[in-house]
Every structure is written in structure tokens, then in C-alpha cells.
């Protein structure tokens, strides 16, 4: 069975991203995060690049990734159909920073 989602439904799914960021100092392992991001598809890299500068010690990674994914998708910078998948991939690399 093939299910087609509207752009708004796909973006709404991004809101339910199960991204958790660990406690710790900001930029704990930015080199590892950048190495991870280098392996990401183009859309996930765009989300990573938009979100990384916004990470701080008290940042809510899930909210940042969601907001940046939505902004990029609505601007047509990333594919809306794969926005959630790209956001999850970018989030995994961003978790390495330790925000």
C-alpha cells in the first residue's frame, strides 16, 4: 500500500521527531558532528548547516531542527517529501555536538 502525504502532513510529522540531546558543554564534539554531516545527503546537510550555529548549551535540539526543517522546506530548499527523514539524519549528527 502506498500512502502519499501532503507537504503539510509531512512537515507535521517532523514535529514528532524523537530527538534527544545529552547534557554537557556546548560544542563537546563538533569535529565528530561535522564528520558525520559530511556523509549526509544534501537535504540533511542543509538542515545540519542551518541548525549547527544555533546550538547552545541550553538549546532544544528538537525545536531547532523542526523550525529549520520547516523553513527550508517551505522555501523549497529541501524536498518536502523527505523532510522528516532528512531531519532525523541531521539530528543524529547534531546530537554529537552535545549542545
Number of domains in the chain: 1
pTM over 0.75? The answer is: no
The reply to whether 79 falls in a domain is yes
The reply to whether 3 falls in a domain is no
Q: Which long-range contacts (CB under 8 A, 24 or more apart) does 51-57 make?
A: 51/90, 51/94, 52/94, 52/97, 55/26, 55/27, 55/94, 55/97, 55/99, 56/26, 56/99, 57/24, 57/25, 57/26, 57/99
The reply to whether 30 falls in a domain is yes
pLDDT of residue 85: 97
The reply to whether 78 falls in a domain is yes
Angle at 91 between CA 68 and CA 11, to 5 degrees: 45
The reply to whether 8 falls in a domain is no
Q: Consecutive sets of 10 residues in the chain, 99 residues long: mean pLDDT of each? A: 55 51 55 96 98 91 97 97 97 88
The reply to whether 10 falls in a domain is no
For residue 81, give its domain range: 26-95
Angle at 48 between CA 44 and CA 51, to 5 degrees: 135
The reply to whether 6 falls in a domain is no
The reply to whether 16 falls in a domain is no
Report d(CA 67, CA 55) in Å as an integer. 13
Amino acid at each position: 500500500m502506498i500512502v502519499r502525504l501532503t507537504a503539510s502532513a509531512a512537515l507535521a510529522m517532523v514535529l514528532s521527531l524523537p530527538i534527544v540531546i545529552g547534557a554537557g558543554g556546548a560544542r563537546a564534539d563538533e569535529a565528530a558532528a561535522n564528520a558525520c554531516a559530511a556523509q549526509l545527503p544534501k537535504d540533511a546537510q542543509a538542515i545540519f548547516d542551518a541548525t549547527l550555529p544555533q546550538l547552545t548549551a541550553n538549546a532544544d535540539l528538537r525545536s531547532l531542527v523542526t523550525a529549520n526543517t520547516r523553513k527550508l522546506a517551505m522555501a523549497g530548499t529541501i524536498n518536502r517529501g523527505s523532510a522528516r527523514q532528512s531531519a532525523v539524519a541531521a539530528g543524529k549528527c547534531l546530537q554529537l555536538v552535545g549542545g
